Amino acid sequence: MVLLQRVFDDINIVFPKRRLSWRKKGRVIDVVKPLFSGYLFVSASQRQVIRLNLWLRTQKVDIWFLKVGNFLTPISEQEMIIIRKLLSSDGIVEESQIVKAGQRVMVVSGPLVGLEGIIKECSRRNRRITIGVTVAGEERQVELEGNWVDVY
């Protein structure tokens, strides 16, 4: 991705990632994984995208583009807004602080504030929140880090 950004400095390339904690042999380690495995988001004009596509083909890079017919598929403005809201300045989705009041889950801080409607599942034990995010018209389930806060 760094090479792409150098070659195409006039194109904004976003590769969203998420930070997760894993228990391994009694220790907790932090790992950074792709938010949407296999997806690379490019903000560019149609002419720039065609140029990028041609360059990738000449480099024999094994990348697939999401296409409908002969056109690359743009994602909607609403989908872009949600993805941008999730990402911090370094392109990584950090943990959210969660409070559960009865059957209702409330996010008190972090990237999921105001996005409670996309939460599908919560696991207090694993510190995971499963969300549903629509990308190119299809819903993708993604696990994010969630820290449960007890309210007294």
pLDDT band at 68, cuts 50/70/90? Answer: very low
* Top-confidence residue, 5 or 1: 5
Q: Strand pairing partners for 28?
A: 23
Rounded Cα distance between 128 and 114, Å, is 18
Structural domain containing residue 25:
2-148
Q: What is the pLDDT of residues 2-28, one digit of tens each?
A: 677 777 888 888 888 999 888 888 888
Number of structural domains, the chain? 1
Averaged pLDDT, 123-146: 86
Give the residue from 43, 41, 42, 22 showing the smallest Cα distance to 33. Answer: 22
Contact residues for 97 (Cβ-Cβ < 8 A; gap 6+):
107, 108, 109, 110, 146, 147, 149
Percent share of the chain, pLDDT over 90:
9
What is the predicted pLDDT for the residue at 65? 55
Q: What is the pLDDT of residues 75-112, one digit of tens each?
A: 778 888 888 888 887 889 999 998 877 777 788 899 98
pLDDT band at 61, cuts 50/70/90? Answer: low
CA gyration radius, the chain: 18
